[in-house]
A and B are shown apart, each in its own frame.
Chain A
Amino acid sequence: MYVAVKGGERAIDNAHAFLAEERRGDPAIPELTVAQIRAQMALAVNRVMAEGSLYDPDLAALAIKQSRGDLIEAIFLIRAYRTTLPRLGCSRPIDTGRMAAVRRVSATYKDLPGGQVLGPTFDYTHRLIDFALAAEGTAAQAPLASAPLGPVPRVTGFLDREGLIEDEPASEATPRDLTREPMELPADRALRLQALTRGDEGFILSLAYSSQRGYGRTHPFVGELRIGEVAVELDIPELGFAVEIGAITVTECETVNQFTGSRTQPPQFTRGYGLVFGQTERKAISMSLVDRALRWDELGEDNTGAPVQDQEFVLMHADNIQATGFLEHIKLPHYVDFQSELELVRRLRAGQQGAAE
């Protein structure tokens, strides 16, 4: 129960002023600019865009500044801002096959057309603190190959041509949108992918990890992981044609999973899919594992009762803004609820002591 109470305005104003001062920190140290955050904290910006479900690096960088680096708070700010925007339309589905990739690796084929392209990765770094970065003025320069990397073919395409992997038939069906209508369960795969791509990275990672450790295992290989820029095309009704309105960086992960076949399907490989805004590799791999695990029903697999196979458990708990809202509301005044419980406990204790005497 909530009771409207008055008072506390001055305390709240002063708390906000205190917050602003703490956010700025020591004024002897130069203030961070939004452009600096966007350029140098790019992976934090990417996470805020992915889970805020709004691609706008400047806005995400500003939200990180405002939230003092609390990324879930920043995501909350982005989600709130998003609700103020009119929807101008829906893009044509992006074509990740035409991605200008900066990274593309496959764990299933060593030698593949286009090759293994490492890109700007933390892999193979020693994970030792680099004290040289504590000094300012370090400008690294990446070497240039003589020829640019062209479009790289899709790895699952190789298996598809041999019929060794399940078909992924194209369609132009309009997907349901969980930002427009409440999510109803069971959710189809399109709705699940939308919920997963904006879900909390830590939660999706833990679910994926649980499936690897045996809770609903799906034997995944990373068929392909690619990161790069794709064009976004929008049909403009006034003009009667589509225009490229911009370009976004995305991370795509396709897993190839062992599948022994079912009554209706021959033994073949099956697919798990991850697609996330920005350079967000851990999230995209996690998403593809969770996507695959959630497909047990349509593939005729057993439900082992693992959390990762339970749509309701996964989809209803993946959103860190919903989770934060419900979790943090318990710190708000519950004076009356607590008073009633206090009364109850006192009464019960009095009754017990009375009976004991």
Chain B
Amino acid sequence: MTQIFERPAAMGLLARAEPLRLAALFPDLPAHTRLRGPEIGAVMVRGRQGGTGAPFNLGEMTVTRCTVRLAEGPVGHAHVQGRNTEHALRAAVLDALLQTDRAAALTRSVLALLAAEETTRREARARKAAATRVEFFTMVRGEDA
């Protein structure tokens, strides 16, 4: 069964991918024109007062963005955390390719693998956390015995 990734989900996976891993999965970029960037900038990250209330500015994070057009027409975008311009470029090219008839093949060879690896990584961390959960027990006191 082939997994389906909507465009926002696919862009998120490409953005969160480890740059070297993404380059290993998809080393050679097809012909493309750079419409914007890759360009390094900052995004102001917001939080909420009390976790759920009105927004406030927490601080910035570095982000690299890039927009490309493929020879056959589709335009691809990427906004990726960090300052790796190659990562942003590769993610933008992939975003464009995912709008072409290569989408199904790339979903199998790139997106599905990234998603599976991310799930494994997150689950391992969540299992380590779960192992530190306190199991309380109550000592039986004399008068209760």
Q: Which residues of chain A have a CB within 8 Å of any CB of chain B? A: 49-50, 53-56, 58-59, 82, 85-94, 96-97, 100-103, 110-111, 115-119, 142-150, 154, 156, 168-175, 177-179, 189-191, 193-194, 197-198, 228, 231-232, 234, 236, 238-239, 241-248, 250, 252, 254, 271, 273, 275, 277
Known: A90-B57, A189-B49. 16 other contacts (CB 8 A): A56-B62, A56-B82, A59-B83, A82-B60, A85-B60, A86-B39, A91-B45, A93-B47, A93-B55, A118-B134, A119-B129, A168-B50, A169-B53, A177-B44, A194-B57, A273-B51
Q: In the assembly, what is the distance between CA of A88 and CA of B77, in Å?
A: 14
Residue B125 at the A interface, CB < 8 A? yes
The 5 closest A-B pairs by CB, nearest first: A246-B81, A148-B126, A244-B12, A145-B130, A168-B50
The answer to whether A103 and B60 touch across the interface, beta carbons within 8 angstroms, is no
Q: In the assembly, what is the distance between CA of A246 and CA of B16, in Å?
A: 5
The answer to whether B50 and A190 touch across the interface, beta carbons within 8 angstroms, is no
Smallest CB gap from B46: residue in A: A93
- How many residue pairs at the A-B interface have CB separations less than 8 Å? 235
Chain B interfacial residues counted at CB < 8 A: 53
What 0/1 pattern do residues 19 to 56 of B give for CB contact below 8 A with A?
00000000000000000000111111111111111111
The answer to whether A174 and B43 touch across the interface, beta carbons within 8 angstroms, is no
Q: Which of B45, B52, B61, B65 contacts A168 (CB 8 A)?
A: B52
Q: Which of B39, B42, B53 contacts A170 (CB 8 A)?
A: B53
The answer to whether A94 and B47 touch across the interface, beta carbons within 8 angstroms, is yes
Contacts of A277 in B (CB 8 A): 58-59
Q: Which of B41, B42, B46 has the most CB of A within 10 A?
A: B42
Q: Which of A96, A150, A238 contacts B77 (CB 8 A)?
A: A238
